[in-house]
Chains A and B, each alone.
Chain A
Amino acid sequence: MIPELGQGMLLVALGLALAGAILSAAGGRTGRPALVESAQHAALGVFALITCSFALLVYAFLTFDFSVRYVAHNTNLGTPFWYRITGVWGALEGSIILWGWMLSLYTLIVILRHRERARELYPWALTVMLAIMAFFITIMTVAAPPFSRLNPVPANGRGLNPLLEDTGMITHPIALYLGFTGFTVPFAFAVAALVTGRLSDTWIALTRRWTITAWYFLSLGLLIGGWWSYHVLGWGGYWAWDPVENAAFMPWLTGTAFLHSVMIQERRRMLKLWNISLVILTFSLTLFGTFLTRSGVIASVHAFTQGSIGIMFLSFLALVVLVALGLLAWRWDALKGQGELDSVVSRESAFLLNNVMLVAAAFTVFFGTVFPLLSEAVRGVKVSVGAPFFNSVNIPLFLGLIFLMGVGPLIAWRRASLDNLRRNFVGPIVVGVVGAAVFYALGVRSALAVLSLALTVFVAATIGLDFWRATRARLRMGESILPAMTGLLARHNRRYGGFVVHLGILVIAVGVTGSQAWSVQTETTLKVGESASLGGYNVRFDRLDAAEESNHARVVGTFTVANGRQPAVMQPSKKYYPQESSPIAGVDYWIGLKEDLYLVLGDFTRDGRQATVKIQVNRLVTVIWIGGLILTLGTVLSVMPERRKAA
């Protein structure tokens, strides 16, 4: 009964979403507020229904209702309580419901925040959001119904994919989806702007915080995914240019471009075409990302093949792209720039170059991801390009982008004079070059690593220079140093929030550079009592043990590790789940600031006397996660309400 109720609610929600979209569009067209209000009520109804439906699904999970097919596939009697809740979004049907729920929540927030302030744009933005929700609810009711039943009821379920029994895997989809769905809002307002012809920066100013928040959650999702990959999957890496990773990275790249490009439109009314194109591109890429993950079109470790869902996603993606680009073509004249670029050496130019490079990177990732399809379509041969391709093209682009991070915020508008360039950049360039020399002297030989670190120093110097000059100006006016600094941060939180985010990116870049350049690994087989060394660590194999847990069994290898200091014990394991045809690796690691020690248990003999172990010393990986924290702080600072009064 309860599952039928849940499915019925979704069906009603679909009707409401469609009705609401039509009402809102009619309200926008005719200007009658009553229609828009009805649409608002419909949106509220959709939110309530999806929330209840979601709650019923969670209830089915918690009560082991194996009559529901989705529950039987994702839990069994041994699944721990907490994972019975988080397992709800562990597979296709549940993740679509999560997406739909987030969309409905965002729609409510849009209603509450914008219905008064954006009279012209708001009805159309609401229409777009309800229409997109209607699509996702259609998936929930037609292609991937979460409540379909099994009869007779199996006595037990299959169980959650063991890789998902991890905190990273709980938070990663949530962060990623908050990011993906978040971009729906700027997209909706962009479409509203195109439809109404109000292409000034109103739609941008309204959605600024949405864009930053969505961008942040996407960044967070990517970082958590990298962290999960690093800690759980057992290959010691955090990024593999896997198609599904790429699917989330592409909208991040174009989203970053969009985030920056809109600043130019706000200040100088330029790059309008770029901004509309970027938001359309970003939203389309979020849909493409879901399509890629759910349709099995590209071979990937993560892809789940589900029959009709891929076709539905592709059709909807096609609809969105063609309609949005059609509107863009229709409004072409209004979008053509009001200002021309005065000089190549200017802030506008730097931001334009930023756009170009980020889109180039996104294109590269897209090209590399669909290359197998392309080569098969064109030449009949299936060819793929792996990590070397992505790295060889993207690394120069990323280095260029880091350089621009230092140039953009400081270079003058319109046309930078020689004096302006000298004042702002000579110092940091000198610092960067000195930094390069220092790194070289310290023993860094990889040219790429030296360049990367030198650029990081350069950008950090520009940030420091800017902050110092502003602080000094305040000190001159009689303030003491600490209030001066905090006052700056509070009064100009957008600017300095951005700087802190840039610092976070720099820290991440340092971590990536270090881990790629200086990590070492080895694999060796040890008998009981034998040791191996790597990177200053001595690893001795002590014993093997076997134990049974509630829903799995495991073999644990005990190793004593010493690196000159106090020896300690590490216990990598292999976990055997009844529903999986092979064991899952349980990595054990020590996290440090400078380096992580990483142990993976491989093969072992049945008498427990011999084990093969993979040892990695991964350098500066923790720095990446710290960069993520700094990114968080910067984002929070950025979105805080601005103080108009003097601090």
Chain B
Amino acid sequence: MSRALRWLIPLAAIPVLALLAYGFRLNPREVPSPLVGRPAPAFALKTFAGQPVSLESLRGKVVVLNFWASWCYPSCYEEAPVLERGWQAWRDRSVVVLGVDIQDTDDKALKFVRDFQLSFPNAPDPSGKVSIDYGIYGVPETFFIDTQGRIRAKHVGALSEEVFRQHVERLSSESQGAAQR
């Protein structure tokens, strides 16, 4: 084989590697959630502090709806600081972080809120109606709802800073763009 042709051998590996890299862009395990793109189910809850909160009352803001429980080890423990930091960073920009505590006892839930020094509103869902409406079958699950009250994304498992920022930034800039027009 000539001197030049032999270098085809390492080069031939590149298309295969490129194909594998392409695979990164795809998520083969994603099963579509029927809720994404639909109007978020309405809810009316009372926070641990006694304040009423409903989806209606949050219209016009980007809502990060997070379902959690104190017995959810350790994923809820991982994401609680992320939610709190996200709340602090975005509360002045028409973004609301709302935690819904499911299948829990109030004293354990309050301890959780105290330990993580959560300042965003958290409400228990005693009848479980809200978690059924949102199709929850495990914790944690987080829904990103836009200013029109539509569910735009659902995240399963502990929320990371990047995912939080990604979704909130996108929904926030959309609504700003709409407002400016």
Contacts and interface: CB of A to CB of B under 8 A. Distances in A.
Contacts of A295: 23-24
Contacts of A376: 26
B29 A299 contact: yes
A73 B28 CA distance: 24
A311 B24 CA distance: 8
A368 to B, nearest CB: 14
A518 to B, nearest CB: 35
A370 B9 contact: no
Contact of B73 (A76, A305, A328, A332): A76
Given A72-B74, A158-B73, A332-B6, A373 B19 contact: yes
B17 A154 contact: no
B73 A155 contact: yes
Interface in A430-475: none
Contact of A373 (B22, B29, B78): B22
Nearest to B115: A152
B120 interface: no
A154 B80 CA distance: 12
Interface residues of A, number: 41
A152 B116 contact: yes
A295 B22 CA distance: 12
Q: Chain A interface mostly helix, strand, loop or mixed?
A: helix
A373 B23 contact: yes
A62 interface: no
Contact of A377 (B9, B13, B19): B19
A370 B18 CA distance: 12
B86 to A, nearest CB: 17
A297 B24 contact: yes
Contacts of A288: 20
A152 B76 CA distance: 11
B9 A329 contact: yes
Interface stretch (A102-110, A315-323, A494-502): A315-323
B71 interface: yes
A559 B73 CA distance: 38
Interface string B1-40: 1000011011001100101111110111100000000000
A49 to B, nearest CB: 27
A374 B73 contact: no
Contact of A150 (B27, B29, B77, B137): B77
Contact of B19 (A158, A305, A374): A374
A322 B19 contact: no
A328 B9 contact: yes
A584 to B, nearest CB: 16
A314 B28 contact: no
B13 to A, nearest CB: 5
Contacts of A639: none
Interface in B106-155: 115-116, 137-138
B6 A318 contact: no
A156 B22 contact: no
A295 B20 CA distance: 10
A66 interface: yes
A572 interface: no
A386 interface: no
Nearest to A305: B29
A158 B26 contact: no
Interface in B24-59: 24, 26-29
Contacts of A325: 9-10, 13
B10 A156 contact: no
B73 A303 contact: no
A314 B17 contact: yes
Interface string A369-393: 0101110110000100000000000
Interface of A: 66, 69, 72-73, 76, 150, 152, 154-158, 288, 291, 295-299, 303, 305, 310-311, 314, 317-318, 321-322, 325-326, 328-329, 332, 370, 372-374, 376-377, 382, 581
Given A322-B14, A332-B1, A373-B19, 17 more contacts: A69-B78, A72-B73, A72-B77, A76-B73, A157-B73, A157-B74, A291-B20, A311-B24, A318-B13, A318-B17, A321-B17, A322-B10, A325-B9, A325-B13, A326-B7, A370-B20, A374-B19
17 contacts: A66-B74, A69-B74, A73-B74, A152-B115, A158-B75, A295-B23, A303-B29, A314-B20, A314-B21, A328-B9, A329-B7, A329-B10, A372-B28, A373-B19, A373-B23, A374-B19, A377-B19
Enumerate the 7 nearest inter-chain pairs by beta-carbon distance, A residue then B residue, closest first. Answer: A72-B74, A325-B10, A299-B28, A297-B23, A154-B73, A152-B115, A329-B6
Interface of B: 1, 6-7, 9-10, 13-14, 17, 19-24, 26-29, 71, 73-75, 77-78, 115-116, 137-138
